[in-house]
């Protein structure tokens, strides 16, 4: 969490300026431009394909944000985050499909938004349940207990029991028109995109705010040195569970959001590999940085899409490439992580930080 240097000649007069997010006019303009692109340019210029790529990125960001919080900020290595995303997705779906909503709520289109919130809270508590071992174990042992979360939740409870509700077999399908917020039916890539943006922005604001207040500092302290954190008056177990709750909460949001993009959800969407993928995303983006979760998600999703685009024309002459695309994707994923671990272990976020500092200090970098 090293801070970026301020541009030459910028001085703060009071502490609230130093605590602010966007401290100079230049940064404010930059962020305004970013929002303009996100809300003004992409939705109206991008075609449906690229919008769906953006949605994929947003989904990955939401997932990676929780993983980043646990691994990057609280030091609790997790390899079962897909379980909490699954809990969110299934809770939301089941609430929409099975819950006897009062007619008023249905009419006002509140079923989906309310279910998102409930799904996030339930996923949060589910995550706390599997975070309990963190009171006693750390490191490699914790990785195993979080993997247990994955297998117990998705492969056992969801596959064997939840999926059987209503006798539908493996997948739940959501009839068109059930995903609506107020009068606004989320039925196109554009609408999913806007929903995604709102959720991603809210989550990022929440996490960044937490990180600059008491709770977030306690998390980072636990990551850096849990013994002295405890001596400094932090209830380590409680704050670890807080971290699991918030991570699960955002995971639940991710899951509940993603059903708007899927016609049908099945346990296959939340396999263990997805948990691993999210960890890979933050390794590439940079551990211990919010930028890292975002950059990593953009990088991974875009690289995979480009890979697919590159393979398409070759598929005519080598049809096997297309068949084996899944394996190619996994190989590239592994390769990308290896390359980043060797050449830039601090991830993309670190490069970004260096770049900002370079320009902020230019021309007097000493």
Partner 1 sequence: MSEPHERRIGDILLELKDVSMRFGKVRALEGVNLTIRKGEIHSVIGPNGAGKTVMMNVVSGLYRPQRGEIYYKGQKINHLRPYERAGIGIARTFQKVEVFGGMTVLDNIRLGRHIHLKSGIVGGAFYLGRTAREEIEHRTFIEEEIIDFLEIEQLRHKPVGMLPYGLQKRVELGRALALEPELLILDEPLAGLNLEETEDMARFIIDINEERRWRVTCLLVEHDMGVVMDLSDRVFVLNFGNMIMDGTPAEVQNSPEVIKAYLGEEELYATRG
The residue ranges that bind partner 1 (CB under 8 A) are 1-3, 15-16, 18-19, 205-207, 209-210, 212-218, 220-221, 223-225, 227-236, 242, 245-246, 288
Of 252, 95, 63, 82, nearest in space to 179 by CA: 95
Least Cβ distance, residue 310 to partner 1 (angstroms): 38
Least Cβ distance, residue 39 to partner 1 (angstroms): 22
Which C-beta is closer to partner 1: that of 164 or that of 235? 235
Which C-beta is closer to partner 1: that of 23 or that of 159? 23
What dihedral angle (degrees, nearest 10) is formed by the CA atoms of 144, 148, 149, 152?
170
Helix (H, G, I), strand (E, B) or coil at 265: strand
Which C-beta is closer to partner 1: that of 109 or that of 124? 124
Residue holding tokens 């260096």?
354
Least Cβ distance, residue 318 to partner 1 (angstroms): 47
Task: Report the alpha-carbon distance of residue 210 to residue 248 in Å, rounded.
Answer: 15
Least Cβ distance, residue 268 to partner 1 (angstroms): 33
Which C-beta is closer to partner 1: that of 18 or that of 330? 18
Instruction: Evaluate the omega torsion of the peptide bond into residue 363 and state whether it is cis, within 30 degrees of 0.
Output: yes
Rounded (5°) CA angle 116-291-361: 150
What dihedral angle (degrees, nearest 10) is formed by the CA atoms of 147, 153, 159, 161?
150
Task: Report the alpha-carbon distance of residue 59 to residue 163 in Å, rounded.
Answer: 22
Which C-beta is closer to partner 1: that of 5 or that of 101? 5
**What pairs with residue 199 in β-bridges?**
none
- Region for residue 76 given its phi and psi (left: phi exceeds 0; alpha: psi -120 to 50; beta: otherwise): beta
Which C-beta is closer to partner 1: that of 17 or that of 45? 17
**What pairs with residue 185 in β-bridges?**
180
Helices (H) and strands (E) in the chain, counts: 17, 4
Least Cβ distance, residue 288 to partner 1 (angstroms): 7
Q: % helix / strand / coil in the chain, to the nearest 5?
A: 75, 0, 25
Least Cβ distance, residue 231 to partner 1 (angstroms): 5
Least Cβ distance, residue 193 to partner 1 (angstroms): 24
Least Cβ distance, residue 74 to partner 1 (angstroms): 12
Least Cβ distance, residue 32 to partner 1 (angstroms): 20
3-state SS of 166-232? HHCCCCEECCCCCCEECCEECCCHHHHHHHHHHHHHHHHHHHHHHHCCHHHHHHHHHHHCHHHHHHC
Helix (H, G, I), strand (E, B) or coil at 49: helix
Which C-beta is closer to partner 1: that of 1 or that of 29? 1
Which C-beta is closer to partner 1: that of 45 or that of 235? 235
Which C-beta is closer to partner 1: that of 195 or that of 221? 221
């Amino acid at each position: 969490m090293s801070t970026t240097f301020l541009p030459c000649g910028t001085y703060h007069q009071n502490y609230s300026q130093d605590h602010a997010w966007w401290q100079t006019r230049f940064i404010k303009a930059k962020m305004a431009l970013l929002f303009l692109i996100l809300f003004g340019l992409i939705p109206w210029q991008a075609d449906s394909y690229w919008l769906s790529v953006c949605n994929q990125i947003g989904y990955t960001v939401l997932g990676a944000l929780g993983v980043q919080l646990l691994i990057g900020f609280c030091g609790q290595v997790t390899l079962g985050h897909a379980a909490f995303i699954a809990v969110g997705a299934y809770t939301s779906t089941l609430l929409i499909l099975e819950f006897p909503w009062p007619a008023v709520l249905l009419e006002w289109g509140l079923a989906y938004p309310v279910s998102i919130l409930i799904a996030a809270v339930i996923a949060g508590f589910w995550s706390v349940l599997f975070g309990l071992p963190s009171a006693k174990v750390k490191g490699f042992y914790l990785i195993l207990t979080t993997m247990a979360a994955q297998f117990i939740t998705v492969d056992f409870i969801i596959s064997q029991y939840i999926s059987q509700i209503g006798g539908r077999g493996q997948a739940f399908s959501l009839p068109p028109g059930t995903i609506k917020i107020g009068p606004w039916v989320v039925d196109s890539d554009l609408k999913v995109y806007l929903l995604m943006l709102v959720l991603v922005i809210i989550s990022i604001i929440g996490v960044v705010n937490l990180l600059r207040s008491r709770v977030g500092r306690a998390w980072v302290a636990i990551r850096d040195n849990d013994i002295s954190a405890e001596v400094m008056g932090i209830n380590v177990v409680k704050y670890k569970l807080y971290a699991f709750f918030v991570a699960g909460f955002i995971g639940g949001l991710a899951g509940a959001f993603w059903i708007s993009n899927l016609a049908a959800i099945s346990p296959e969407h939340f396999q263990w590999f997805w948990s691993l993928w999210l960890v890979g995303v933050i390794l590439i983006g940079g551990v211990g940085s919010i930028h890292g979760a975002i950059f990593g998600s953009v990088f991974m999703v875009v690289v995979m899409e480009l890979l697919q685009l590159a393979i398409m024309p070759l598929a005519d002459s080598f049809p096997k490439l297309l068949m084996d695309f899944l394996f190619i994707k996994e190989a590239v994923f592994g390769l990308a992580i290896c390359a980043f671990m060797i050449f830039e272990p601090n991830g993309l976020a670190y490069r970004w930080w260096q770049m900002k500092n370079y320009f902020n200090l230019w021309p007097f970098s000493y």
